[in-house]
């Protein structure tokens, strides 16, 4: 969720064509409306905003932190022996940067029919400082990008824009001042803050909420078809029942009882949001049956 002064925006992140499911945006709109959630602006579709991303890349190239990466896949795989960073991979080493860049390199690369390089953002040794409203209870957090991820990709060699670039450019263009998202994206925050600063912007406030995971503690994915909003809806689950269960699992309700999202607004407070992941019961079918208009159940391990 992203907002600007209390105005909520809906964005469709569809930059990776092989992963885009036709009709998914319309299905999301219908599912969210059924659940009782709405938004003030959008949808904004990222695949239609490439001119903004190109403009940002040109600005970074002119300012200095952008450089072409022509390292082969073999070179990058050789990094596996290096100490791994926070995201599980080895940081891109400073030694892989080109020793110098000739004037006009970016314009020549952009004008090539088939660019032979990815574009990376050069990081430095300065720690990125920020606080998270949920994970850190507002306390300061620090990350050195040169130690955790190194220079990171903003545009792939095949022409696809990286998530880090698109989300930052969109946040700046839309004046976003609040970002609330899943805890799985916490490790992207330092990169986005540094990129926002390089583009002359002010980072928004961040809050990363716990994920709903399966019985084994794994993040839900597209293969978990029995636990989609659509499947629960088709199984006869009432929208207010599911909304109440989700609100209770986050700590906003004392017990899992039906509640429309609008009624939760006055109950919201950052300090009430739980920090632990919400683990669903072992059997998705049983969970779906239990979440009926008359019944609701706690996640595994909850009292």
Mean pLDDT computed over 180-186? 94
What per-residue confidence (pLDDT) applies to 188?
A: 97
**Is the predicted pLDDT of residue 241 greater than 60, yes or no?**
yes
What per-residue confidence (pLDDT) applies to 181?
A: 94
Mean pLDDT computed over 243-260? 92
Residue 171's closest CA among 190, 195, 149, 144?
195
Question: Residue ranges per domain, the chain?
Answer: 47-209, 215-290
Distance CA 145, CA 65 (A): 14
**Is the predicted pLDDT of residue 299 greater than 90, yes or no?**
no
Distance CA 256, CA 140 (A): 33
Token pair in block for residue 128: 């990125």
Highest mean pLDDT among 5-14, 79-88, 188-197: 188-197
Torsion angles phi and psi, residue 73, rounded to 5: -60, -35
What per-residue confidence (pLDDT) applies to 205?
A: 95
- Give the length of the chain: 303
Highest mean pLDDT among 9-13, 53-57, 213-217: 53-57
Distance CA 133, CA 205 (A): 8
Q: Transcribe the chain into DSSP letters.
A: -EEETTEEEEEE----GGGPPTTHHHHHHHHHHHHT---SEEEEEGGG-HHHHHHHHHHHHHHS-EEEE---HHHHHGGGGSPP-TTSSPPBPGGGS-S---TTHHHHHHHSSS---EEEEPP-SSPEEEEBTTTTTT-EEEE-HHHHTBSEEEE-TTSPBPHHHHHHHHHHHTT--EEEEEGGGGGGHHHHHHHHHHTT----EEEEEPPEE-TTSPBP-TT-GGGSHHHHHHTT--HHHHHHHHHHHHTSSSS-----HHHHGGG--GGGS--S-EEPPS-HHHHHHHSBTTB--PPTT--
Q: Say what the pTM is.
A: 0.88
What per-residue confidence (pLDDT) applies to 278?
A: 85
pLDDT digits (tens, 9 = 90+) for 130-172: 999 999 866 789 999 999 999 999 999 999 999 999 999 999 9
Mean pLDDT computed over 278-292? 72
Mean pLDDT computed over 111-124? 92
The more confidently predicted of residues 103 and 284 is 103
**Is the predicted pLDDT of residue 12 greater than 80, yes or no?**
yes
Could you tell me if 179 and 207 are in contact, meaning their C-beta atoms sit under 8 angstroms apart?
yes
- Beta bridge partner(s), residue 153: 120
Cβ-in-10-Å burial (0-12, 13-18, 19+) of 81 comes to exposed
What's the pLDDT band for 79 if we cut at 50, 70, 90?
low
Mean pLDDT computed over 267-295? 78
What's the pLDDT band for 292 if we cut at 50, 70, 90?
low
The more confidently predicted of residues 74 and 89 is 74
What's the pLDDT band for 303 if we cut at 50, 70, 90?
very low
Q: Reply yes or no: is the peptide bond before residue 75 cis, omega within 30 of 0.
A: no
C-alpha dist (Å) from residue 96 to 122, 150, 198, 233: 11, 10, 21, 51
CATH class of segment(s) 215-290: mainly alpha
Torsion angles phi and psi, residue 301, rounded to 5: 85, -5
What's the pLDDT band for 213 if we cut at 50, 70, 90?
confident
- Least confident range from 72-76, 134-138, 215-219, 230-234: namely 72-76
Token pair in block for residue 114: 């088939």
Which residue in the block uniquely carries the two structure tokens 């990466």? 69
Token pair in block for residue 199: 């583009």
Domain 47-209 has CATH 3.40.50.300: no
**Cα torsion through 77, 158, 220, 165, rounded to 10:** 100
What per-residue confidence (pLDDT) applies to 195?
A: 98
Sign of CA dihedral 124, 197, 43, 183: positive
What per-residue confidence (pLDDT) applies to 294?
A: 47
Distance CA 58, CA 188 (A): 22
What per-residue confidence (pLDDT) applies to 74?
A: 75
- Beta bridge partner(s), residue 7: 4
What per-residue confidence (pLDDT) applies to 130?
A: 94
**Is the predicted pLDDT of residue 89 greater than 70, yes or no?**
no
What's the pLDDT band for 298 if we cut at 50, 70, 90?
low
pLDDT digits (tens, 9 = 90+) for 25-46: 899 899 999 999 999 998 999 9
């Amino acid at each position: 969720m992203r907002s600007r002064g209390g105005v909520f925006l809906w964005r469709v992140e569809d930059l990776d064509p092989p992963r885009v499911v036709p009709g998914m945006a319309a299905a999301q709109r219908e599912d969210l409306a059924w659940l009782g959630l709405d938004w003030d602006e959008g949808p904004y579709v990222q695949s239609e905003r490439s001119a903004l991303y190109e403009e940002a890349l040109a600005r970074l190239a002119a300012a200095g932190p952008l450089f072409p990466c022509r390292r082969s896949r073999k070179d990058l795989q050789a990094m596996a022996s290096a100490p791994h960073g926070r995201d599980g991979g080895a940081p891109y080493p400073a030694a892989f940067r080109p020793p110098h860049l000739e004037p006009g390199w970016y314009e020549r690369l952009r004008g090539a029919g088939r660019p032979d390089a990815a574009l990376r953002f050069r990081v430095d040794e300065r720690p990125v400082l920020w606080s998270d409203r949920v994970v850190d209870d507002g306390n300061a957090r620090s990350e050195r990008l040169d130690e955790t991820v190194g220079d990171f990709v903003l545009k792939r060699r095949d022409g696809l824009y990286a998530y880090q670039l698109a989300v930052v450019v969109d946040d700046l263009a839309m004046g976003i001042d609040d970002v609330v998202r899943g805890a799985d994206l916490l490790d992207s925050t330092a990169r986005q803050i540094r990129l926002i600063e390089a583009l002359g912007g002010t980072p928004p406030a961040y809050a990363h909420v716990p994920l709903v995971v399966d019985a084994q503690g794994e993040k839900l994915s597209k293969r978990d078809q029995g636990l989609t909003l659509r499947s629960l809806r088709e199984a006869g689950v009432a929208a207010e029942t599911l909304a109440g269960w989700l609100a209770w699992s986050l700590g906003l309700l004392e017990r899992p009882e039906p509640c429309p999202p609008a009624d939760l607004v006055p109950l919201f407070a950052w300090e009430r949001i739980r920090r632990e992941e919400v683990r669903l019961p072992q059997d998705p079918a049983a969970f779906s049956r239990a979440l009926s208009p008359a019944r609701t159940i706690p996640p595994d391990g909850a009292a």
